[in-house]
């Protein structure tokens, strides 16, 4: 926001008998005046825009650059009337939509609200995701992996693990009896408790088959960083080498690029929850496959 010595304030007000509000903003921005007034229930409004203090105010006129401009009009929703002939064009009162990545003016045709340059960049990345989805579905040595676990922390273990081919063939699906306890909070998510895994194999027992199935495979996981970490932790707990396939791919990150919603706080695309999953390892593999197939059907 500009400092007092650089600008005046923007005042949104009303007739004496109606409510009023005062809003200080930078000269770089406007507001959605009609919406603002509608929310407050104002029947009339007066708007005074920012004016640099360096201007000689006694020489300012409404036709000079940077001059104070005012708008008076009725709120159609409360007064039922139309804007007066003296009012400025409605579009000039609306807040200009800005690109969330660079704050430049947004391209009106951009669904995520990007400027022209960032919309072009996103479209390029989205086409790359579509190509990746086609590759995943067409490549025979790609598998989908998902786990259910005893928690999220550094002590968490694999509790259930499934592998699914991109043709929908179930390659591996088993419960795993952990060394540690299963917290109630984890059971509330995936419905797996100690009784469910009482006769299940240990991770050490399934490890050789898991390694054989993943050897030279491309593994796709929804939130790959999490599942890889839990797998590595579980391997370490049993004194086993980490599972190392040919490569890991994260479907969640690809889907984030595909949707294109920008997270300004993280300065990256927004992560989305897996759609259609049921918090079982095999069910989430199938939901991930469905997400990849849906992206592959897009037009880029």
Structure tokens at 52: 């640099």
* pLDDT score, position 95: 55
* pLDDT score, position 214: 97
* pLDDT score, position 97: 86
126 with 117: CB under 8 angstroms?
no
pLDDT in tens, 45-96: 444 333 333 334 334 444 433 433 333 344 434 444 444 444 444 444 345 7
Say how far apart CA 12 and CA 34 lie, in whole Å: 11
* pLDDT score, position 300: 57
pLDDT in tens, 106-156: 888 788 899 999 999 999 999 999 999 999 999 999 999 999 999 999 999
pLDDT in tens, 215-237: 999 999 999 999 999 999 999 99
**Helix H or strand E segment including 286:** helix 281-296
Half-sphere exposure in the Cβ direction for 221 (13 Å, CA): 23
Say how far apart CA 190 and CA 161 lie, in whole Å: 12
Higher-pLDDT residue of 111, 43: 111
**Helix H or strand E segment including 220:** strand 218-221
The CATH classification of domain 116-296, taken from the options 3.30.70.140, 1.10.260.40, 3.30.420.10, 3.90.1150.10: 3.30.420.10
Residue of 163, 160, 187, 194 whose CA lies nearest to 174: 160
Is pLDDT of 274 > 90? Answer: yes
Say how far apart CA 143 and CA 296 lie, in whole Å: 16
148 with 226: CB under 8 angstroms?
no
Percent of the chain with pLDDT over 70: 68
pLDDT in tens, 157-211: 999 999 999 999 999 999 999 999 999 999 999 999 999 999 999 999 999 999 9
Structure tokens at 271: 């992560």
Instruction: Label the pairing between strands 262-263 and 268-269.
Output: antiparallel
Say how far apart CA 83 and CA 65 lie, in whole Å: 25
3-state secondary structure of 158: strand
User: pTM here?
Assistant: 0.68
Domain positions in the chain are: 10-93, 116-296
**Rounded to 10 degrees, what is the CA torsion of 280, 282, 287, 291?**
140
Bridge partners of 11, per DSSP, are 22, 48
């Amino acid at each position: 926001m500009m400092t007092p010595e650089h600008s005046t304030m923007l005042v949104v007000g009303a007739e004496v008998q109606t409510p009023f509000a005062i809003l200080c903003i930078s000269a770089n921005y406007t507001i959605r005046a009609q919406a603002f007034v509608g929310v407050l229930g104002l029947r009339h409004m007066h708007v005074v825009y920012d004016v640099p203090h360096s201007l000689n105010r006694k020489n300012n006129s409404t036709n000079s650059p940077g001059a104070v401009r005012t708008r008076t009009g009725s709120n159609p929703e409360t007064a039922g009337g139309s804007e007066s002939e003296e009012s400025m064009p409605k579009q000039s009162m609306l807040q200009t939509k800005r690109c969330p990545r660079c704050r430049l003016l947004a391209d009106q045709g951009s669904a995520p609200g990007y400027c022209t340059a960032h919309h072009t960049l996103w479209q390029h990345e989205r086409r790359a995701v579509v190509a990746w989805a086609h590759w995943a579905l067409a490549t025979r040595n790609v598998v989908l992996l998902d786990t259910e676990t005893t928690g999220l922390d550094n002590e968490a273990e694999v509790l259930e693990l499934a592998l699914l081919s991109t043709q929908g063939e179930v390659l591996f699906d088993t419960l795993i009896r952990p060394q540690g306890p299963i917290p109630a909070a984890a059971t509330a998510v995936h419905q797996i408790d100690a009784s469910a895994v009482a006769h299940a194999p240990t991770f050490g027992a399934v490890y050789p088959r898991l390694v054989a199935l993943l050897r030279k495979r491309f593994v796709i996981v929804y939130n790959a960083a999490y599942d890889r970490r839990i797998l590595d932790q579980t391997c370490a707990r049993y004194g086993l080498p980490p599972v190392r396939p040919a490569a890991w791919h994260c479907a969640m990150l690809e889907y984030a690029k595909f949707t294109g919603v920008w997270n300004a706080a993280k300065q990256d695309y927004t992560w989305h929850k897996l759609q259609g999953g049921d918090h079982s390892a095999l069910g989430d593999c199938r939901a991930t496959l469905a997400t990849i197939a849906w992206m592959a059907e897009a037009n880029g």
